[in-house]
Amino acid sequence: MASKSINVHGENGAGKKTLIGSLIFRCGLEMQMLEQLKRNGIHQYADVVPYFEREGIPPSFYAKSAKFLVERENQTPDVVFWLVDATDPGAAKTSSQRLASMLAAATMNPKEKLLILVNKMDLTKWSEDAFQQVARQFRALSLPKDKAFIIPVSSTEGTNMLSSPQDVPWMQTPPAGRSDESEDLDQTLMDILG
């Protein structure tokens, strides 16, 4: 299986450690490591990454096509996760401006995909309005459609990471006339990672 690099960016409090911890826990732990985490009192996803860092364990997880290694200082990773807090739509403008600056300055240049993850959707009760408020800020950047995706997720619950949410009608059947804005809603994070 191929290995690919991934960087994780976003504002403080957007859930970066929780997302990676959740992916490691759901898609990257062998039974021995799971037992080690339990022995060391690691019970929350956000605590997995700091534990791995302390122990010198490279954070990684598996998708269908590759093993993803989480790297901090790679300007040209294969994939970038850009996290935005769905509960703070006001921060989306600042976050999108920061992303635009990093892309323009080439301080971040993903080779394959840029995944903008609208996180904490569970805290908004999977509100379509909350998602669209955040997504509009990033759509305004005119990101390349073949490379950039905007995906609603819940890192804590793992929803729309491996499987789609069941009780969110706006994600199953986007309203007519909005297919251009909803192109990523029928795919989970893992579907898009490949």
Does 177 score more than 80 pLDDT? no
Tokens 């929350």 map to which residue? 44
Average pLDDT of the chain is 89
Pair 77, 7: CB distance under 8 Å: yes
Binding residue positions for GTP: 119-122
Model confidence at 114, pLDDT cuts 50, 70, 90, reads very high
Q: Could you tell me the two tokens for 57?
A: 């364990």
Tokens representing 53 are 């860092």
The residues, any chain, with a CB within 8 Å of residue 138's CB and separated by 6 or more, are 84, 92, 96, 99, 116, 148, 150
Contact 84, 12 (CB under 8 A): no
- Tens-digit pLDDT profile for residues 78-103: 999 999 999 998 899 999 999 999 98
pLDDT at 175: 54
pLDDT score of 187: 87
Q: Domains (ranges, CATH) in the chain?
A: 2-23+67-193 (3.40.50.300)
The answer, as to whether pTM is greater than 0.85, is yes
Give the sheet arrangement for strand 2-10, strand by strand: 60-62, 66-70, 2-10, 79-85, 113-119, 148-152
- Pairing type for strands 2-10 and 79-85 reads parallel
Residue found by looking up tokens 């971040």 in the block: 108
Residue list, annotated binding site: 119-122
pLDDT given for residue 158 in this prediction: 92
